[in-house]
A and B are shown apart, each in its own frame.
Chain A
Amino acid sequence: MSEVLMDIQDLAKHFVIDTNFFGKPVSVLKAVDGVSFSINQGEAFGLVGESGCGKTTLGKILVNLYRPTSGKLFFEGKDLTVLNEEQRRAYCKDIQMIFQDPYASLNPKMTVGDIIAEPILINGLLPRNQVEERVIYLLNCVGLARHQRNRYPHEFSGGQRQRVGIARALAVEPKIIVCDEPVSALDVSIQAQVLNLLGDLKEEFGLTYLFIAHGLNVVKHISDRVGVMYLGKLVEVAPKKELYANPLHPYTQALLSAIPVINPEKKMERIILEGDVPSPINPPAGCRFCSRCFKKLEQCKLNEPKLKEVSPGHFVACHLFD
C-alpha cells in the first residue's frame, strides 16, 4: 500500500446558526460531524453525497477556507489544525482546489494569463521573467492556446474556464488537488473532455485528487477509492470496484440505483428513497439515514452505527453489519 498523503481524523465543522441572548449557541448546523479517512499518495479519492451532506465543507476545510471545529488533519504526517494562519499559509501551495462553478471561480477583472501567473508570483516560485513562459506551458497543458492568455474570463466558454481554473491550480505544483464537482456545471460533451484532462494530468504530474461529486457515475471513472457521505457522516468507504460491485450501505445502494442507465432495455429495479434529506440542523437521533432507510432495524433509531471494516479496505457504518 502506498504512502498516506493526507490523514483526516474525526474532523468536524459546526456552524452556529443562532445564539441566545448571552451568545450561547442554540442552533448548530453540523455540516461535517466526525469524519475519518485517509488519502494515499497518487490516488484519486472520490467523495460522493447529495447536497447538504457536507462534502464541499470537508473540501474547504482541507484547503483552509474553513477551520475545523474539532478533529485533526495530517498532511505528510504534520497536523495542520494546530498551525496559525501564517504557518498554515505555507502549505497553501501543496493543497489546491478546482471549483464547481467556472463562472464564479475566475476574477472577471483579470486576464487569464494574470490569473494563472498570480499564484506563481505570490509564492515566489519563479523569477518574474520566466513566469510568462510557464503560463504558456500551463495553458498548453490544459489544452488552451498561448494567445488566449491576454483574454478575459468572460470571453471563454464554461469548459475553457474550467481549464483555466485547472491551470491555476497546477501553477503552484501542488501535491493534492481538491476537485469540487469540477464537471457538474458543464455540458455532457465537455464533461468527458475535462474528466479526461484531469486523468491525464494526474498521470503526468503524479497528482493526488480528492474528487467530490454528487453522483456515483462521475467519480466511477476517475477514482481509485470512493467514500459516500450522508448528513455530515461517512457511511461507506471502499475501493472503487468493490463499492460498485458490492455496495453494502442501503444509502449507497439507493444512490447507485438512482443513476439513470443509458439503456432503455435494461430498466433497473429502482430503489426510490422516501422523503428528503433531513436538515443537518436537527439530524435524526441514531443512524442519520434511518428516516429514509428501507432496511432499518429497531436499534437504528437508538444507536449511531460506527464505521467499521467488514472486508479488507471496505468500511461501512450500518447496524446490518454488526
Chain B
Amino acid sequence: MLLEVKNLTTEFKLKRGIVKAVDDISFTIDKGEILAIVGESGSGKSVTSLSIMGLLQKPGKVTGGQIFYKSQDLSTLSKKELQKLRGNQISMIFQEPMTSLNPVWRIKDQIMESIMLHMKLSKKDALARTIEILETVGIPSAAQRANDYPHQMSGGMRQRVMTAMALACNPELLIADEPTTALDVTIQAQILELLYRMREKFHMAVMLITHDLGVVSEAADRVIVMYCGKIMEEADVRTLFNNPMHPYTIGLLKSIPQIDNDSDERLYMIKGMVPNPLNMPKGCPFSDRCEQSMERCTQEMPQLQDIDGHKVRCFLHDAKEGGSAKQ
C-alpha cells in the first residue's frame, strides 16, 4: 500500500456557509496501480488531490481524516519535509499545460530546477537527466527543444513537458488532474499511451482524476466514482463497466454518446443538475436526480457497502434490507 486516505474531509468556509467539498472519503492506492477518480464538476475530485498534495488554497481546509504515505501520516510532517516529499516522491500534473509552465523560463531550466532541488545533482548531470527524461516522454530532438520557451510548443508538447517535469525525480506516485481535458483527441491518445508506458517503465502509481469515463476505461485499473464530495461507487475497472451498481454510474455510462452504438434514439439522460453545495438534499445527495429514488433515500444517507470488493453507496444494494445486489 503506497497511499492510504482515511476519512478525509475538506471544507470551504464561505460567507454563505460551509461547503463540504470532500466528505469523509477513504481509499488506498497500491504500488504501480492506476486509480481513476471520476466525477463531474463540483464532485470534489480535484479538491481530493489538492488535499493530498497539501496545496489547498484558502478558504479550503482539511478538517478531518488522515493521509498516510508509506504508512507515514502526512499531517505529522513539517512544511519542509512535505515539500521534500512533493516533487520527489509524489508529483502532480495539471489540466492546463499553458498556465502550469512558467512562460519566462526555458523548458530545461524548469525541469533542471526540480531535479537539482530534489536529486542533488550537479548542473551538468541535471541537464543530462533533463534531456533523457524529455526523450522518454517522446519529445523529438529533445536536446534542442529543451532550449525552447513554453509558448514555442504546442499544447500536446507542453503536456509532455509537464509530464517530464513530474517524472524527472522518479516519483512513486503521480497525481494527474485531468491531464488530457485541454487536448485534442489524437493528442489525448498520445498522452494516455505515454502515462501507461511510464507506469510500466517506472512502476509508479497513478491517481488519474478525470470526468471522462472513456479515459477511465482505457487507462485505469480501479475506479472511484465521486458525486458531491462522496464516494458513490468503487470497483476495479472491469467490474465497474460490466456491472455498474449505483444509479449515478449507470446513468453516466448510458448518457455518453458511444461510437459503437448504432441506434438513433434519444440519449439517456440524468435529469436535473448537481445540487447547490450550500443546499444539499437531505439523505443521499443523488436522491433528487435518481430514477429509483425511494422514500428512504431522501431521509438518510446510505453507507458505502462492500459487496465482494465492489463498494457502492446505495440503498438498492443494502444487504440488510435484502435488496438485490444485481442491477
Chain A residues packing against B (C-beta within 8 Å): 50-51, 157-160, 187-193, 195-196, 199-200, 214-218, 220-221, 241, 244, 254-265, 267, 270, 272-273, 275-277
Minimum CB–CB distance from A184 to chain B (whole Å) comes to 10
Q: Contact between B270 and A244 (Cβ–Cβ < 8 Å)?
A: no
Minimum CB–CB distance from A37 to chain B (whole Å) comes to 22
Q: Contact between B189 and A188 (Cβ–Cβ < 8 Å)?
A: no
User: In the complex the two chains form, what is the Cα distance from A275 to B189 in whole Å?
Assistant: 12
B187 neighbours in A (Cβ, 8 Å):
50, 276
Of B184, B192, B253, which is within 8 A of A262 by CB? B253
User: In the complex the two chains form, what is the Cα distance from A257 to B273 in whole Å?
Assistant: 31
User: In the complex the two chains form, what is the Cα distance from A272 to B274 in whole Å?
Assistant: 36
Is B322 on the interface with A (CB-CB < 8 A)? no
Q: Quick one: which of B78-137 are within 8 Å of A by CB?
A: none
A190 neighbours in B (Cβ, 8 Å):
40, 273
A261 neighbours in B (Cβ, 8 Å):
214, 217-218, 258-260
Given that A187-B41, A189-B252, A191-B255 are contacting pairs, would A273 and B186 also be in contact in the complex, using a CB cutoff of 8 Å?
yes
Given that A189-B40, A260-B212, A261-B259 are contacting pairs, would A276 and B156 also be in contact in the complex, using a CB cutoff of 8 Å?
yes
**Extra A-B contacts (16), CB below 8 Å, given A195-B257, A264-B238:** A187-B41, A188-B213, A189-B251, A215-B185, A217-B256, A217-B257, A217-B259, A257-B189, A258-B186, A259-B185, A260-B215, A260-B217, A263-B217, A265-B241, A273-B189, A276-B154
Of A159, A192, A244, A264, which is within 8 A of B259 by CB? A244
B212 neighbours in A (Cβ, 8 Å):
188, 260
User: In the complex the two chains form, what is the Cα distance from A157 to B238 in whole Å?
Assistant: 33
Interface centre among B237, B269, B271 (most CB of A within 10 A): B269
Minimum CB–CB distance from B248 to chain A (whole Å) comes to 8
Interface centre among A244, A259, A264, A270 (most CB of B within 10 A): A264
Q: Contact between A258 and B189 (Cβ–Cβ < 8 Å)?
A: yes
Q: Contact between B185 and A50 (Cβ–Cβ < 8 Å)?
A: yes
B264 neighbours in A (Cβ, 8 Å):
221
Of A193, A259, A263, which is within 8 A of B241 by CB? A263
User: In the complex the two chains form, what is the Cα distance from A276 to B156 in whole Å?
Assistant: 7
User: In the complex the two chains form, what is the Cα distance from A13 to B215 in whole Å?
Assistant: 35
Mask, B175-198, CB within 8 Å of A = 1, is 000000000111111101100000
Minimum CB–CB distance from A230 to chain B (whole Å) comes to 10
Of A196, A265, A270, which is within 8 A of B269 by CB? A196
User: In the complex the two chains form, what is the Cα distance from A187 to B255 in whole Å?
Assistant: 11
User: In the complex the two chains form, what is the Cα distance from A187 to B272 in whole Å?
Assistant: 12
B185 neighbours in A (Cβ, 8 Å):
50, 214-215, 255, 258-259
Minimum CB–CB distance from B165 to chain A (whole Å) comes to 19
Is B268 on the interface with A (CB-CB < 8 A)? yes
Minimum CB–CB distance from A50 to chain B (whole Å) comes to 4
